[in-house]
Amino acid sequence: MSIFSKPKEKDELMLVFNIGSSSVGGALFFIQKSGTPKIIFSVTEPIPLEEKTDIERLQSLTIQTLEIVSHKVYQAHLGAPSQTFCVLSSPWYASQTRMINLKKNTPFVFTAKLADELVQKEIKIFKEENLAKYGPLARVIELKNIKTMLNGYETGNPLNQKAQELQMTVFISVSGEQFLKKVEDTISQHFHFKLIKFSSLAMASFAVLRDIHPEQESFILVDIGGEVTDIFMIKKSILRESISFPLGRNFLTRGVASGLGATLDEANSIISLLKDGHAEDSLAKKIMPITGQLKETWLKSFQESLSNISGDISIPSVIYITIDKEIADLFSETIKTEQFNQYSLTESKFEVIFLDTQMLHGLAVFEESVVRDSGLVVDSIYISRFLANR
Protein backbone atom coordinates (compact mmCIF):
# COMPACT_ATOMS: atom_id res chain seq x y z
CA MET A 1 0.00 0.00 0.00
CA SER A 2 1.37 3.43 -0.88
CA ILE A 3 1.95 5.97 1.87
CA PHE A 4 1.45 9.57 0.85
CA SER A 5 1.75 12.78 2.79
CA LYS A 6 -1.41 14.68 3.56
CA PRO A 7 -1.98 17.32 0.84
CA LYS A 8 -0.86 20.78 1.84
CA GLU A 9 -2.80 24.01 1.59
CA LYS A 10 0.00 25.44 -0.54
CA ASP A 11 3.21 24.26 -2.18
CA GLU A 12 6.11 24.17 0.26
CA LEU A 13 9.78 24.75 -0.63
CA MET A 14 12.20 22.05 0.54
CA LEU A 15 15.98 21.70 0.42
CA VAL A 16 17.81 18.39 0.13
CA PHE A 17 21.49 17.49 -0.01
CA ASN A 18 22.71 14.16 -1.31
CA ILE A 19 26.09 13.33 0.26
CA GLY A 20 28.07 10.44 -1.18
CA SER A 21 31.72 9.43 -1.50
CA SER A 22 32.22 10.65 -5.07
CA SER A 23 29.92 13.70 -5.21
CA VAL A 24 27.63 16.01 -3.29
CA GLY A 25 24.36 17.25 -4.74
CA GLY A 26 21.80 19.81 -3.66
CA ALA A 27 18.27 20.59 -4.84
CA LEU A 28 15.41 22.95 -4.11
CA PHE A 29 11.95 21.58 -4.78
CA PHE A 30 8.32 22.27 -4.03
CA ILE A 31 6.06 19.66 -2.52
CA GLN A 32 2.91 20.16 -4.58
CA LYS A 33 -0.66 19.41 -3.59
CA SER A 34 -0.53 16.41 -5.93
CA GLY A 35 2.35 14.94 -3.92
CA THR A 36 4.66 15.14 -6.94
CA PRO A 37 7.85 17.14 -6.23
CA LYS A 38 8.67 20.04 -8.52
CA ILE A 39 12.44 20.49 -8.69
CA ILE A 40 13.35 24.10 -9.43
CA PHE A 41 17.12 23.97 -8.94
CA SER A 42 19.80 21.31 -8.66
CA VAL A 43 23.58 21.18 -8.63
CA THR A 44 26.05 18.34 -8.23
CA GLU A 45 29.77 18.72 -7.54
CA PRO A 46 32.36 15.91 -7.67
CA ILE A 47 34.46 15.23 -4.59
CA PRO A 48 38.15 15.55 -5.59
CA LEU A 49 39.63 12.11 -6.16
CA GLU A 50 42.97 11.28 -4.55
CA GLU A 51 45.39 8.41 -5.15
CA LYS A 52 44.92 6.82 -1.74
CA THR A 53 41.75 6.45 0.30
CA ASP A 54 41.80 7.92 3.79
CA ILE A 55 38.53 8.37 5.65
CA GLU A 56 39.61 11.58 7.44
CA ARG A 57 40.84 13.15 4.22
CA LEU A 58 37.69 12.02 2.38
CA GLN A 59 35.55 13.54 5.13
CA SER A 60 37.39 16.86 4.81
CA LEU A 61 37.00 16.89 1.00
CA THR A 62 33.32 15.97 1.31
CA ILE A 63 32.63 18.87 3.68
CA GLN A 64 34.52 21.25 1.36
CA THR A 65 32.38 20.05 -1.56
CA LEU A 66 29.22 20.45 0.53
CA GLU A 67 30.24 24.07 1.17
CA ILE A 68 30.52 24.67 -2.60
CA VAL A 69 27.12 23.10 -3.24
CA SER A 70 25.45 24.98 -0.35
CA HIS A 71 26.83 28.26 -1.66
CA LYS A 72 25.56 27.58 -5.19
CA VAL A 73 22.08 26.71 -3.94
CA TYR A 74 22.04 29.87 -1.83
CA GLN A 75 23.26 32.00 -4.76
CA ALA A 76 20.30 30.81 -6.82
CA HIS A 77 18.13 33.12 -4.62
CA LEU A 78 15.00 31.04 -5.09
CA GLY A 79 13.58 31.41 -1.60
CA ALA A 80 14.02 30.16 1.94
CA PRO A 81 13.26 26.44 2.35
CA SER A 82 10.91 25.51 5.17
CA GLN A 83 12.72 22.21 5.84
CA THR A 84 16.18 20.85 5.14
CA PHE A 85 17.11 17.21 4.55
CA CYS A 86 20.33 15.26 3.99
CA VAL A 87 20.43 11.81 2.41
CA LEU A 88 23.69 10.00 3.15
CA SER A 89 25.46 7.28 1.18
CA SER A 90 28.25 5.01 2.39
CA PRO A 91 30.62 5.43 4.13
CA TRP A 92 28.75 8.16 6.04
CA TYR A 93 26.25 5.87 7.74
CA ALA A 94 25.75 2.28 8.83
CA SER A 95 22.36 0.57 8.84
CA GLN A 96 20.83 -2.75 9.76
CA THR A 97 17.46 -4.42 9.98
CA ARG A 98 17.13 -5.99 13.42
CA MET A 99 14.66 -8.56 14.68
CA ILE A 100 13.36 -8.11 18.24
CA ASN A 101 11.86 -11.21 19.83
CA LEU A 102 10.06 -11.47 23.16
CA LYS A 103 8.31 -14.60 24.42
CA LYS A 104 6.72 -15.17 27.84
CA ASN A 105 4.81 -17.99 29.49
CA THR A 106 2.01 -15.65 30.53
CA PRO A 107 0.29 -12.94 28.45
CA PHE A 108 1.72 -9.40 28.57
CA VAL A 109 0.42 -6.06 27.27
CA PHE A 110 2.36 -4.52 24.39
CA THR A 111 2.77 -0.87 25.41
CA ALA A 112 4.68 2.08 23.96
CA LYS A 113 7.00 1.91 26.98
CA LEU A 114 7.80 -1.75 26.34
CA ALA A 115 8.41 -1.09 22.65
CA ASP A 116 10.75 1.81 23.47
CA GLU A 117 12.72 -0.27 25.98
CA LEU A 118 13.19 -3.09 23.47
CA VAL A 119 14.17 -0.72 20.66
CA GLN A 120 16.62 1.25 22.84
CA LYS A 121 18.32 -2.01 23.77
CA GLU A 122 18.79 -2.82 20.07
CA ILE A 123 20.10 0.69 19.37
CA LYS A 124 22.67 0.30 22.16
CA ILE A 125 23.84 -3.03 20.74
CA PHE A 126 24.01 -1.61 17.20
CA LYS A 127 26.04 1.41 18.35
CA GLU A 128 28.46 -0.89 20.15
CA GLU A 129 28.87 -2.93 16.98
CA ASN A 130 29.88 0.25 15.13
CA LEU A 131 32.28 1.65 17.75
CA ALA A 132 35.28 1.02 15.51
CA LYS A 133 33.72 3.08 12.71
CA TYR A 134 32.10 5.97 14.58
CA GLY A 135 33.40 5.79 18.14
CA PRO A 136 31.13 6.30 21.16
CA LEU A 137 29.49 9.38 19.60
CA ALA A 138 27.15 7.82 17.07
CA ARG A 139 23.80 9.45 16.33
CA VAL A 140 20.72 7.50 15.27
CA ILE A 141 19.45 9.14 12.07
CA GLU A 142 16.69 6.64 11.23
CA LEU A 143 14.49 4.33 13.23
CA LYS A 144 11.74 2.65 11.22
CA ASN A 145 9.30 0.08 12.60
CA ILE A 146 8.87 -2.11 9.55
CA LYS A 147 6.63 -4.83 10.96
CA THR A 148 5.13 -5.94 14.30
CA MET A 149 3.78 -9.43 14.90
CA LEU A 150 1.83 -10.62 17.96
CA ASN A 151 1.44 -14.36 18.49
CA GLY A 152 2.65 -14.96 14.94
CA TYR A 153 0.22 -12.54 13.24
CA GLU A 154 1.16 -9.18 11.74
CA THR A 155 -0.79 -6.25 13.15
CA GLY A 156 -0.83 -2.60 12.20
CA ASN A 157 -2.16 -1.50 15.60
CA PRO A 158 -0.36 -3.58 18.25
CA LEU A 159 -0.41 -1.08 21.15
CA ASN A 160 -2.25 -2.18 24.31
CA GLN A 161 -2.95 -5.63 22.90
CA LYS A 162 -2.17 -8.78 24.89
CA ALA A 163 0.20 -11.44 23.62
CA GLN A 164 2.64 -14.10 24.73
CA GLU A 165 4.92 -13.73 21.75
CA LEU A 166 6.21 -10.55 20.09
CA GLN A 167 8.37 -10.01 17.04
CA MET A 168 9.34 -6.54 15.82
CA THR A 169 11.33 -5.78 12.68
CA VAL A 170 13.10 -2.40 12.90
CA PHE A 171 15.49 -0.59 10.57
CA ILE A 172 18.21 1.45 12.29
CA SER A 173 20.76 3.83 10.75
CA VAL A 174 23.54 5.58 12.62
CA SER A 175 26.19 8.11 11.65
CA GLY A 176 29.15 9.73 13.35
CA GLU A 177 28.23 12.75 15.46
CA GLN A 178 31.38 14.61 14.42
CA PHE A 179 30.57 14.28 10.72
CA LEU A 180 26.90 15.22 11.18
CA LYS A 181 27.86 18.32 13.18
CA LYS A 182 30.22 19.43 10.39
CA VAL A 183 27.43 18.96 7.85
CA GLU A 184 25.03 21.02 9.96
CA ASP A 185 27.59 23.78 10.54
CA THR A 186 28.42 23.98 6.83
CA ILE A 187 24.80 24.25 5.68
CA SER A 188 23.92 26.73 8.46
CA GLN A 189 26.39 29.22 7.00
CA HIS A 190 23.90 29.76 4.18
CA PHE A 191 20.51 28.55 5.43
CA HIS A 192 18.69 28.86 8.74
CA PHE A 193 16.90 25.77 9.99
CA LYS A 194 15.53 24.32 13.21
CA LEU A 195 17.09 20.96 12.44
CA ILE A 196 18.23 18.85 9.52
CA LYS A 197 16.47 15.55 8.98
CA PHE A 198 19.02 12.92 8.00
CA SER A 199 18.23 9.76 6.08
CA SER A 200 20.07 6.96 4.31
CA LEU A 201 20.23 6.24 0.62
CA ALA A 202 19.21 2.67 1.42
CA MET A 203 15.91 3.65 3.00
CA ALA A 204 15.17 6.39 0.44
CA SER A 205 15.73 4.09 -2.56
CA PHE A 206 13.96 1.13 -0.94
CA ALA A 207 10.90 3.18 0.05
CA VAL A 208 10.54 4.79 -3.38
CA LEU A 209 10.92 1.48 -5.22
CA ARG A 210 8.45 -0.24 -2.89
CA ASP A 211 5.96 2.59 -3.36
CA ILE A 212 6.11 2.81 -7.14
CA HIS A 213 6.34 -0.97 -7.67
CA PRO A 214 4.31 -2.52 -4.82
CA GLU A 215 3.97 -5.73 -6.81
CA GLN A 216 7.77 -6.20 -6.63
CA GLU A 217 8.03 -7.63 -3.13
CA SER A 218 11.56 -9.02 -3.45
CA PHE A 219 14.61 -7.49 -5.11
CA ILE A 220 18.29 -6.63 -4.68
CA LEU A 221 19.33 -2.98 -4.37
CA VAL A 222 22.96 -2.18 -5.25
CA ASP A 223 24.54 1.23 -4.70
CA ILE A 224 27.92 1.60 -6.42
CA GLY A 225 29.43 4.67 -4.78
CA GLY A 226 32.81 6.27 -5.16
CA GLU A 227 34.58 4.17 -2.54
CA VAL A 228 32.07 1.52 -1.47
CA THR A 229 29.53 -0.83 -3.04
CA ASP A 230 26.49 -1.52 -0.84
CA ILE A 231 24.14 -4.45 -1.43
CA PHE A 232 20.69 -4.64 0.17
CA MET A 233 18.33 -7.60 -0.08
CA ILE A 234 14.59 -6.96 0.10
CA LYS A 235 12.31 -9.95 0.70
CA LYS A 236 8.53 -9.72 1.06
CA SER A 237 8.73 -5.89 1.11
CA ILE A 238 11.18 -5.91 4.04
CA LEU A 239 14.75 -4.65 3.84
CA ARG A 240 16.19 -7.86 5.27
CA GLU A 241 19.98 -7.92 4.88
CA SER A 242 22.84 -5.67 3.79
CA ILE A 243 26.54 -6.02 3.08
CA SER A 244 29.30 -3.76 1.74
CA PHE A 245 32.71 -4.12 0.12
CA PRO A 246 35.30 -1.34 -0.34
CA LEU A 247 35.36 -1.23 -4.14
CA GLY A 248 33.44 1.52 -5.92
CA ARG A 249 33.79 3.47 -9.14
CA ASN A 250 37.02 5.12 -7.90
CA PHE A 251 38.61 1.67 -7.73
CA LEU A 252 38.32 1.55 -11.53
CA THR A 253 39.90 4.99 -11.97
CA ARG A 254 42.82 4.26 -9.65
CA GLY A 255 43.39 0.90 -11.30
CA VAL A 256 43.55 2.38 -14.80
CA ALA A 257 45.87 5.16 -13.61
CA SER A 258 48.20 2.62 -12.00
CA GLY A 259 48.12 0.25 -14.97
CA LEU A 260 48.89 2.94 -17.54
CA GLY A 261 51.16 5.11 -15.40
CA ALA A 262 48.69 7.98 -15.86
CA THR A 263 47.26 10.61 -13.56
CA LEU A 264 43.78 10.17 -12.09
CA ASP A 265 42.38 12.86 -14.40
CA GLU A 266 43.98 11.18 -17.41
CA ALA A 267 42.57 7.84 -16.29
CA ASN A 268 39.05 9.27 -16.09
CA SER A 269 39.41 10.76 -19.57
CA ILE A 270 40.64 7.43 -20.94
CA ILE A 271 37.76 5.54 -19.33
CA SER A 272 35.35 8.06 -20.85
CA LEU A 273 36.89 7.61 -24.31
CA LEU A 274 36.69 3.85 -23.99
CA LYS A 275 33.08 3.98 -22.80
CA ASP A 276 32.07 6.19 -25.74
CA GLY A 277 34.01 4.08 -28.25
CA HIS A 278 36.35 6.95 -29.12
CA ALA A 279 39.62 5.45 -27.86
CA GLU A 280 42.28 4.83 -30.50
CA ASP A 281 42.97 1.16 -31.29
CA SER A 282 46.43 1.24 -29.72
CA LEU A 283 45.08 2.75 -26.49
CA ALA A 284 42.12 0.36 -26.44
CA LYS A 285 44.48 -2.63 -26.71
CA LYS A 286 46.42 -1.37 -23.69
CA ILE A 287 43.44 -0.55 -21.52
CA MET A 288 41.11 -3.48 -22.25
CA PRO A 289 43.16 -6.05 -20.27
CA ILE A 290 43.46 -3.60 -17.36
CA THR A 291 39.77 -2.79 -17.15
CA GLY A 292 38.93 -6.44 -17.70
CA GLN A 293 40.98 -7.45 -14.66
CA LEU A 294 39.55 -4.63 -12.57
CA LYS A 295 35.97 -5.55 -13.45
CA GLU A 296 36.73 -9.19 -12.68
CA THR A 297 38.06 -8.20 -9.25
CA TRP A 298 34.97 -6.10 -8.53
CA LEU A 299 32.66 -8.87 -9.77
CA LYS A 300 34.36 -11.45 -7.54
CA SER A 301 33.70 -9.27 -4.48
CA PHE A 302 30.13 -8.76 -5.67
CA GLN A 303 29.59 -12.50 -6.04
CA GLU A 304 31.09 -13.25 -2.64
CA SER A 305 28.91 -10.58 -1.05
CA LEU A 306 25.77 -12.01 -2.64
CA SER A 307 26.73 -15.45 -1.38
CA ASN A 308 27.29 -14.14 2.16
CA ILE A 309 24.10 -12.11 2.24
CA SER A 310 21.84 -14.88 0.98
CA GLY A 311 22.51 -17.55 3.61
CA ASP A 312 19.71 -20.07 3.13
CA ILE A 313 17.43 -17.50 1.50
CA SER A 314 16.92 -17.45 -2.26
CA ILE A 315 18.36 -14.47 -4.11
CA PRO A 316 15.72 -12.26 -5.81
CA SER A 317 15.99 -12.13 -9.59
CA VAL A 318 15.52 -8.34 -9.95
CA ILE A 319 18.54 -6.12 -9.27
CA TYR A 320 18.19 -2.32 -9.08
CA ILE A 321 21.47 -0.42 -9.45
CA THR A 322 22.27 3.16 -8.42
CA ILE A 323 25.48 4.59 -9.88
CA ASP A 324 26.79 7.76 -11.50
CA LYS A 325 25.41 7.96 -15.04
CA GLU A 326 28.74 8.37 -16.83
CA ILE A 327 30.13 5.07 -15.54
CA ALA A 328 26.93 3.01 -15.50
CA ASP A 329 27.48 1.20 -18.81
CA LEU A 330 30.79 -0.32 -17.73
CA PHE A 331 29.28 -1.85 -14.61
CA SER A 332 26.12 -2.81 -16.51
CA GLU A 333 28.22 -4.83 -18.92
CA THR A 334 30.02 -6.50 -16.03
CA ILE A 335 26.86 -7.47 -14.17
CA LYS A 336 24.77 -8.54 -17.15
CA THR A 337 27.43 -10.87 -18.58
CA GLU A 338 27.59 -12.76 -15.28
CA GLN A 339 24.31 -14.34 -14.31
CA PHE A 340 25.59 -15.86 -11.05
CA ASN A 341 24.78 -19.36 -12.28
CA GLN A 342 26.89 -20.84 -9.50
CA TYR A 343 24.22 -19.87 -6.98
CA SER A 344 21.72 -22.69 -6.63
CA LEU A 345 19.44 -20.39 -4.63
CA THR A 346 18.94 -17.91 -7.45
CA GLU A 347 15.22 -17.55 -8.23
CA SER A 348 15.69 -17.12 -11.98
CA LYS A 349 17.79 -15.26 -14.56
CA PHE A 350 18.75 -11.83 -13.26
CA GLU A 351 17.10 -8.68 -14.55
CA VAL A 352 19.33 -5.63 -14.03
CA ILE A 353 17.55 -2.26 -13.86
CA PHE A 354 19.27 1.08 -13.36
CA LEU A 355 17.53 3.47 -11.02
CA ASP A 356 18.00 6.45 -13.33
CA THR A 357 16.02 9.48 -14.45
CA GLN A 358 14.45 7.49 -17.30
CA MET A 359 13.00 4.96 -14.87
CA LEU A 360 11.75 7.78 -12.63
CA HIS A 361 10.09 9.65 -15.51
CA GLY A 362 6.82 11.26 -14.47
CA LEU A 363 7.42 10.91 -10.73
CA ALA A 364 8.83 14.43 -10.49
CA VAL A 365 8.48 17.59 -12.57
CA PHE A 366 11.22 20.08 -13.35
CA GLU A 367 11.71 23.74 -14.03
CA GLU A 368 13.18 24.37 -17.45
CA SER A 369 16.99 23.89 -17.63
CA VAL A 370 17.19 22.01 -14.29
CA VAL A 371 19.85 19.29 -14.37
CA ARG A 372 18.19 15.93 -13.72
CA ASP A 373 20.22 13.99 -11.18
CA SER A 374 18.68 10.59 -10.39
CA GLY A 375 19.85 10.62 -6.76
CA LEU A 376 18.27 14.00 -6.08
CA VAL A 377 15.09 12.92 -7.86
CA VAL A 378 14.81 9.84 -5.62
CA ASP A 379 15.46 12.01 -2.56
CA SER A 380 12.79 14.54 -3.49
CA ILE A 381 10.22 11.79 -4.13
CA TYR A 382 11.05 10.12 -0.81
CA ILE A 383 10.79 13.37 1.13
CA SER A 384 7.53 14.35 -0.59
CA ARG A 385 5.83 11.03 0.08
CA PHE A 386 7.27 9.88 3.39
CA LEU A 387 9.12 12.50 5.41
CA ALA A 388 7.81 16.03 5.00
CA ASN A 389 4.92 15.78 7.47
CA ARG A 390 6.63 13.58 10.04
Using CA atoms, how far apart are residues 224 and 124, in angstroms rounded to an integer? 29
Q: What is the dihedral of CA 19, 325, 219, 37, to 10 degrees?
A: 60
Whether residue 347 contacts residue 317, with contact meaning beta carbons closer than 8 Å, is answered with yes
State residue 7's pLDDT score: 44
State residue 378's pLDDT score: 95
State residue 189's pLDDT score: 94
State residue 344's pLDDT score: 45
Q: Hey, what CATH topology would domain 94-174 get?
A: Dna Ligase; domain 1 (3.30.1490)
State residue 4's pLDDT score: 37
pLDDT tens-digit profile, the chain (390 residues): 333 344 445 688 999 999 999 999 999 999 987 778 999 999 999 999 998 888 999 999 999 999 999 999 999 999 999 999 999 999 999 998 888 999 999 999 999 999 999 999 999 888 888 777 776 788 999 998 888 999 999 888 899 999 999 999 999 999 999 999 999 999 999 998 888 999 999 999 999 998 888 898 899 999 999 999 999 999 888 888 888 999 999 999 999 999 999 999 999 888 888 777 777 788 778 888 998 899 889 988 988 888 888 765 678 888 898 887 667 777 777 776 665 544 444 556 778 888 888 888 889 999 988 989 999 999 999 999 887 665
Q: What is the dihedral of CA 291, 297, 300, 305, to 10 degrees?
A: -110
Considering the domain 12-92+176-214+357-387 in this protein, what is its CATH number? Answer: 3.30.420.40
Using CA atoms, how far apart are residues 121 and 176, in angstroms rounded to an integer? 19
State residue 149's pLDDT score: 92
State residue 9's pLDDT score: 52
State residue 388's pLDDT score: 67
Domain range list for the chain: 12-92+176-214+357-387, 94-174, 219-354
The SS3 call for residue 58 is helix
DSSP state of 327: G
**Is domain 219-354 classified as CATH 3.10.20.30?**
no
Whether residue 302 contacts residue 245, with contact meaning beta carbons closer than 8 Å, is answered with yes
Using CA atoms, how far apart are residues 170 and 307, in angstroms rounded to an integer? 24
pTM as predicted: 0.88
Using CA atoms, how far apart are residues 238 and 93, in angstroms rounded to an integer? 19
Q: How many CB atoms lie within 10 A of CB 45?
A: 16
User: Strand locations in 225-268, DSSP E?
Assistant: 229-235, 238-245
Using CA atoms, how far apart are residues 316 and 293, in angstroms rounded to an integer? 27
The answer to whether domain 12-92+176-214+357-387 and domain 94-174 are alike in fold is no
